[in-house]
A and B are shown apart, each in its own frame.
Chain A
Amino acid sequence: MSERRYKKLKTAPQLKKLLEQHYLAAKYFHLGKPIAWVTSGAPVEIVRALDIFPVYPENYGALCGARGASAAMCQVAEARVYSPDLCAYARSSVGMMSDAKHAPLGGLPRPDLLITCGNICGTVLKWYEAAARHYHAPLFILDTPFIHADDGEPTAHAIAYVAAQLEELIAFLEKQTRRKLSKEKLLATAMLSSEAVSLWCDVREFCRARPSPLNAPDLFLNMAPIVTLRGTKECAQFYRALKEEIAERVARQVSALPEEKYRLVWDNIAIWHHLYRFYNHFVDYGACFVTDTYTGGWAMRMNDQGDPIHAFARTYTQVFLNQSLRVRVRDMADLITRFDVDGFVMHSNRSCKPYSVGQYDIRRIVTEQTGKPGLVIEADHSDPRSYDDETIRARIQTFMEGLR
């Protein structure tokens, strides 16, 4: 396995510990709290406020990818007639369900409840249906209508629909836990969540500095608590420490790379199985990914004004994977200008169709609008079997030489 070739963070051990504790707690120390499997885009604040322990199969999918365990887990699913063309996070999860013994960390804990939110893709519906059949656990579907509008605004009826379902979700969870949701606790959780998210936004904004204090893999790794722990004190605490460290790097003009010669934007989920090797190909050219479209996906902010259910409905319906191609173009062009980059790289991720379908058009339009070149790389975020390092390196070489 390749090593990273850019600066380590002092907070890295803290991050490692935080995530280890999370998985340990999920498995052994959830202290009688019911376990809910939730999707990355589910309104976890409601879940936490009811003292339910949320577990993230998508994050587990990334973990399988990073530990090189995806292919084996996917093969288990494929032997059970799941198509190899399905999302590899979901496939490895299905593999884990039927063969937890051989899965990393001995598999995820069995869910008491399943909550799937369609704001990221259609896969999570089917994936959670499969989990519901396997574990005979009750399934709640939060249906967040896709936004095709150019301005990214959901329709009023979509918001009303989502808000009504959130009330229903609360009733469902109250019934399952035989507990009443305390509005104060919900608000407090939402505020903790917002705090972490805005600290994380600040960290990402720091990368506008030249040289950038972070490279994309740092962003990918440090995003994990936002996904799996938002709404907890530990999470906010971690981001305070991280922000402090990055602020210091910026003040002292510490660069993530040995020497930053080029600045790039990354689009789509990380290539977990070749995390260092892949991004090192860019380090070879002194190219730093100073920002990306992915780790900002959780950059939603709640506020304490108005009805919290309404705020949740809006926030969770507007996540970027629930937005049209035009909004994606707008966001990418915005990153290009604000982070002052030389070009962008798009990972056409055969696992993730909602993120990838449309990328060819986005690339063309963004280049037309900004004059910055874009490279598309065909790969998969967690299944390494279709990854071809030689071809990819050749494509990167051509692209980087074009930038000179």
Chain B
Amino acid sequence: MKNKIGYLCTYVPEEIIHAAGFLPVRIAPSTTPPTRADAHLQSYTCCLARSCLDQALAGRLNDLAGVVFAHTCDTMQGLADIWRESFPNLFVETVVGPVALNSPHAQKYLVAELRRFVAALEQHFDVRVTEDALRASIRIYNTRRRALADFYARRAEFSAVQWFNVMNKALTTPPEAISDRRSATSNQQSAIENQKSKIGVVLVGATIDEPTLPQILDDLGARIVADDFCNGARYFDTLVAEEGDPIEAIAARELTRATCPCKHRALDDRAERLLKLVKDNRADGVIFYHKKFCDPHAWDYPPLAAALDREKIPHLLLEVEQVAPVGQTRVRVEAFLEMLSEG
């Protein structure tokens, strides 16, 4: 029996999938231009949706027993249904979490929705998701999140590419493989002090899926001091409580972790968090690393940029289709870093 279940967005409750006996793995866009997805997704949808579907249509995800979506943006919502039509025998489910995270009723609703998801898994695969198994999974994933946070606290010792590799490996390997900082960085060559790195930047975006930008930052001697990616710090910044009802605890984490722009908790919480990231980490500037056609992040850019402007924090917007064009990105990042070092 296939034992992996894929997901695209970190709002998918991996502890539940794990407790059902599956290994949740993140499906990430590849660097190959999509071809098969064009028959299903318009040219004005983001590369994340198009590349992930393309890989599935090419048969490269055939080892998955299912794919689980989380309700986020309009493209993802449509993609979930397209996926279901394309693979009628596959377990395809969407956890429709709340958008209004600040609603006093959001927790109760999400708990019920998570229980529905548990029941769907149990029914489809004829398994039982016990409370004990959930608790054990929560502990395992918390351990991994703590290890990543610990690694993160010392990321000054690593290059941007190493940071990228650690984060991207984490979400596709068994959670037990990363239990402390050492195991998080096990596949990295010696963690040499990154001597040249003087300028610190904060990266903001949906996801980061290929190392062009980190490589450029390394080449130019800049450091990533913090990030706001779905597959970056937002993934491990909050733990699930290990006491009490496990489903309630999982729901509570979803409502309190750093907000994705598809969700609403307060009008300016993303701006406040970004300013705090810049200050706490003494960053020199911010790079928005956005995907073309990604509405939620495009919507948040003007207010975030305005908040940074008010604080006189320099920022740069890079909008990328699938793979950042090396030459052009390098020129723009270089000019930005020069400006920062003069500033």
Smallest CB–CB gap between A231 and chain B, Å?
24
> Ordered nearest first, which 9 A-B pairs have the shortest CB separation?
A357-B78, A157-B112, A126-B299, A325-B81, A161-B109, A83-B298, A143-B100, A353-B74, A354-B74
Q: A357 touching B41 by the CB < 8 A rule?
A: yes
Q: How many A-B contacts are there with CB distance less than 8 Å?
A: 152
Smallest CB–CB gap between B193 and chain A, Å?
38
Interchain CB contact (< 8 A) of B98 among A145, A324, A356, A357: A145
Interchain CB contact (< 8 A) of B100 among A127, A165, A378: A165
Please give, as numbers and ranges, the residues of chain A lying within 8 Å of B268 by CB-CB distance.
133
Interface residues of B (CB under 8 A from A): 39-42, 44-45, 71-75, 77-82, 84-86, 94, 96, 98-100, 102-106, 108-109, 112-113, 116, 261-262, 264, 267-268, 292-293, 295-296, 298-303, 305, 317, 319
Q: Does A238 contact B (CB under 8 A)?
A: no
Smallest CB–CB gap between A131 and chain B, Å?
11
Say whether, besides A81-B301, A325-B81, A357-B42, A141 and B267 are in contact (CB < 8 Å).
Answer: no
Smallest CB–CB gap between A90 and chain B, Å?
8
Q: Mark A103-125, 1 if CB is under 8 A from B, else 0.
A: 00000000000000010011101
Q: A122 touching B295 by the CB < 8 A rule?
A: yes
Q: Does A129 contact B (CB under 8 A)?
A: yes
Q: Does A326 contact B (CB under 8 A)?
A: yes
* Residue of A121, A132, A348, A357 with highest tally of chain B CB at under 10 A: A357
Q: B108 touching A122 by the CB < 8 A rule?
A: no
Q: Does A86 contact B (CB under 8 A)?
A: yes
Please give, as numbers and ranges, the residues of chain B lying within 8 Å of A129 by CB-CB distance.
264, 267, 299, 303
Say whether, besides A85-B292, A324-B81, A361-B85, A141 and B74 are in contact (CB < 8 Å).
Answer: no
A-B contact pairs, 7 of them (CB 8 A): A118-B99, A122-B73, A148-B94, A164-B105, A353-B295, A357-B74, A361-B86
Please give, as numbers and ranges, the residues of chain A lying within 8 Å of B80 by CB-CB distance.
148
Q: Mark A126-169, 1 if CB is under 8 A from B, else 0.
A: 11011011000001011101101000000101101100110010
Q: Does A33 contact B (CB under 8 A)?
A: no
* Residue of B98, B292, B296, B319 with highest tally of chain A CB at under 10 A: B98
In the complex, residue of chain B having the shortest beta-carbon distance to the beta carbon of A378: B42
Q: A165 touching B71 by the CB < 8 A rule?
A: no
Interchain CB contact (< 8 A) of A123 among B74, B78, B305: B74
Please give, as numbers and ranges, the residues of chain B lying within 8 Å of A130 by CB-CB distance.
299, 302-303
Q: A146 touching B77 by the CB < 8 A rule?
A: yes
Smallest CB–CB gap between A149 and chain B, Å?
10
Q: Does A384 contact B (CB under 8 A)?
A: no
Q: A360 touching B305 by the CB < 8 A rule?
A: no
Q: A126 touching B78 by the CB < 8 A rule?
A: no
In the complex, residue of chain B having the shortest beta-carbon distance to the beta carbon of A155: B116
Please give, as numbers and ranges, the residues of chain B lying within 8 Å of A249 by CB-CB distance.
none
Smallest CB–CB gap between A361 and chain B, Å?
5
Smallest CB–CB gap between A349 and chain B, Å?
9
Please give, as numbers and ranges, the residues of chain A lying within 8 Å of B44 by CB-CB distance.
85, 350, 353
Interchain CB contact (< 8 A) of B74 among A81, A83, A122, A132: A122
Please give, as numbers and ranges, the residues of chain A lying within 8 Å of B74 by CB-CB distance.
121-123, 353-354, 357
Please give, as numbers and ranges, the residues of chain B lying within 8 Å of A350 by CB-CB distance.
42, 44
Smallest CB–CB gap between B316 and chain A, Å?
12
Smallest CB–CB gap between A197 and chain B, Å?
26
Q: B85 touching A146 by the CB < 8 A rule?
A: no
Q: B105 touching A353 by the CB < 8 A rule?
A: no
User: How far is it, in angstroms, between the C-alpha of A294 and the C-alpha of B74 when the chains are bound?
Assistant: 18
Please give, as numbers and ranges, the residues of chain A lying within 8 Å of B86 by CB-CB distance.
361
